[in-house]
Structure 1
Amino acid sequence: AEALAGRAKGLGYPISDYILSPKSPPGVFIAAEHDERQGDYLRYYKLGEGPFYVLLRNFHLCHLEIVKTIRRVLHGGGVLLNNGENPAISVAAVAKRPLHAGSRIERGIGSFDVRGTAIRIADNRKHVPIGLLANAIVTRHIDAGQQITLDDVELPESSALRFWREL
C-alpha cells in the first residue's frame, strides 16, 4: 500500500485499483498522505508514523471529515457527496482492457473488465454507472481507458436502470 501511495505521489494523481486474493483480508483500503497536523490523531488510531497511512474499511475517521466538511461549507463550498434524489456525483465505468463488440460484462464492480472513476453527472450525462454493468453486452469496441457510455453497451432492464434513466 505504501508503495502505491509513493507511486501515486510521484505521478501527481491518485491510483485506483483492486486485487482479488484468498490470502488477503477482505475490504477496501486507502493509502493516503495527510496533513501533518492530523498526525497525532492518526497515531492515536495506531496507523503509524506516516508519511503515508493505510485506512481500512473498518475505520471511519469522522472527526477529520466533519471538520473538513464544515470548513468547506463555511468557505462557500457545497456538499461533498449527495446520494439523495438528485445526486451530483457518480462512479463511471472505465474499461481496464479493450472490450470487443458482442462481449459480455458479467459484473462491473470487482471485475477484470472495468474500474470506476468518480465524475460529475452534469458533465458526463451519457456515462454508465459501474453498478449498472451486470450482464451488459458491449455493442461497439471500447478501448482500454475509455469511459463507457450508454451508446457502448446494452444494459439489462432493472429497477436501478429505470431509476437512472429518470435522473
Structure 2
Amino acid sequence: MKKEGINSGIHVVGQSIVDAVNFISTGMSPNILDKHILQSKSYLFVTCHRQENTDSIVRLNGIIDALLHLATQTPHKVVFALHPRTKKTLISRNLLGNQINHPNIIVLDSPPNFHETIHLQQHASIVLTDSDGLQEESCILGTSCITLRENTERPETVTWDTLRIIELV
C-alpha cells in the first residue's frame, strides 16, 4: 500500500486461523486423548479426504499400506480420522474392516470436531494429511506435517520447514 502512496490507516491485523488455533490450543483440552488412551507425542494423526486420493484405488491403497507399515514399524499408534468421503470409499472397496485392522491403528469413525482436531494435531508426533487446512494448523502448532499430495496450496509451510510433501505413487 505504501508503494501506492497510502501511508496512513494501515493496520496489520494478523490471520484469523492463527488466532483461532492459538486460542483453542491454549484452552481446556477435550477428552479425545483420554478417550483413546493417547499420550502426547505417542501417535501419528492421519486424515485423507481429497478426491485425488480417495478416487484412485492405487493411491488409496498406497496410503493404507503406508499406515499399516507405520503401525507395525514404529512405536507410535496411528490415529486415522475418517472423512465421510474416505469412509464411503473404504467401505465400498471392502478396505475398512479388512485392511485397516491393526491394534496400533485407531480409526475415528466420524471426523473429530475442530477443537478435537486442533488438540490431536498439537499432541501428535507427526500429522499426515492431504488437507490444506491441517497443513496450516500443524505449522501454526509447530507439529511436523507430511502432505499426502503432489503439491500444496500452503507453500509458506514448506518454507517454514514444518511440512514435507510426498508423492505416494
| TM-score in terms of structure 2 length | 0.21
Q: Identify, as 1 or 2, the structure richer in helix.
A: 2
| TM-score in terms of structure 1 length | 0.22
